[in-house]
A and B are shown apart, each in its own frame.
Chain A
Amino acid sequence: MTAKLFSPKEWQLTLPLAFFLHLFYIAPLAVLLASSFQQAVGVPGFSLAQYGEFFRDSTNLKVLTDTFLLGLQVTLACLFFGYPVAYVYNRVTGIWKSVMTFLILLPLLTSAVVRTFGWVVILGKQGLINSALQGLGIIPEPVKLLFTHHGVTIAMTQIQLPLMILPIVASLSQIDSRLLAASASLGGGAWRTFWKIVFPLTLPGIISGCLLVFAITVSSFVTPSIIGGGQIMYMPTLIYQQGVVLLNGPFAAAISAILLVMVLAVVVGLSILGQKSRTYIR
């Protein structure tokens, strides 16, 4: 009885959050985005001039595709490098588990400000990667990593890795170990068990991780602007430049809107996939 009384109205539990976000996020966002329809700074009225200007310029389009590409590459790299960590984490026990927890959380404990110093040390021409590769005789001359797209991809992957690992760990820990035992006893090999059972069962965690990593990567400002410098631009750098440095609020708002639409398209896509994965699990 109680279930009948409660369940149909369960959606009401979203109300506090929905209310909070409407008040403190949607309303400010509406104020922000409204200015993107101005013809120019301070000119009232409705116009798509800002959007037209963005898409007319090939430099801006390159920034948009570079940003999307960065998000995609970092997300895939995080999944590739992060999944095994989560998997191993669920295998180890005792003190090793604590040690791994600590190592996974480590990047989150170092301030972004100081961490970028670490990246200059690693990626620079006199840096660790170049010294190591030159020492091993793999490359004759130092490769340029700092101030390149690859450098940004490497740094962002490292920074976002915990955000991919943690949701997958949560997901893996919920898998019924009897399922795996059953698969093994039925002669399902390690790879087969992984791809047919473990991986699909952890899809909710994977999707969560991918969503977080993608969204945060394409909206990051500090790391891409310091590691990438002024020679490669991403959407957040462009927004800062137009909105804060050049005081062109409407154009910055339009760029924000375009970035938002791009990410939301990915979010909705993955979210639908997530709901499908739920069907699979049941």
Chain B
Amino acid sequence: MSEFVDQPAVSFRQGTDTLLRRRLLNAKVFRTVCMLLTYSSLAVLGVLMGSVLWSSLSRLAPDFLTNHYSMNPVRCGILAGLWGSFWLVLLTAAMSIPIGVGSAVYLEEMAADNFLVRLIRINLSNLAGVPSIVYGILGLSAFRPLMISLQTFFDGTRAINVLGLFRVRILHLEIFDGSVLIGAMTMSLVILPIVIIASQEALRAVPSSIRVASLALGATRWQTIWRQVIPAALPGIATGVILAVSRAIGEAAPIMMIGVLTVASMCPGGIETPLQLLQDPISVIAVPFDQFTAMPVEIYDWSKQPDPQDRFTDVAAAGIVVLLGVLLIINAAAMIVRARAGRRIQW
């Protein structure tokens, strides 16, 4: 190896040697700069995490997870936000994953290359960059009327008359303004572009030979997409979905626009423990229509409380740690899904 490097240096000793040395030096400097940039951002992250963890220590106890909001920082807990965020993210995912992945499959695998489709493609990347509060305003103006009409429909004084034969009473649901459902619909708007774009990328990465081979063996387009393309793209799609869901769980602005609770001592549907959920599964029906608060909203509120010993800052820090913990759990679950999905691909 060294022979090849040394050889030209013998014949053009003067000029090349300095030139080579300078080039090697440049490479070394560039490498060091890149390394420093990487590690400096890591260091900033480390300091941030360290300081958050440090100040959260005084409040991070099991009862922080089981207590409600309190003006007394020692008693203050995140229970309502935890359940609120859980239902919010669950509903958001349930709405945005089918719509997002479906749209991506259509755009990548089936749509003709016409003006409308090109317009949608261009706009998707623009939409992904729109500030989330804009979607909050949209959610407020578009979904609130929907909620109000639902309120009148489910007010318990109505029935459906089936063919004049019998009447089915419409059940009475307490439907509130600023409910989990509106929050999830708004949040779906925020993350849909991300889900679609990531799914499109994943589908594009599936080699076209797979499609051709499947079609050549007599599979229909539906069979090809469902049995070959989507399983192959699943790890990539899962990554995009997780990124999107992680964003949904950390966003405060759009749901603050639609009017979430700030000081809440109630969980959606009155469900405060997983056990309660198992004992009374019917209560889940009320969850989407109930008022809620979410972790980022509570953290924001705590960070604004006046407090001499910064004890509410500690509460906010503990909230951040819980939020990060939930994010880690979601990510871990997604990694398992990805690993499983990856194993199924055998070509």
Is the pairing of A and B real? no
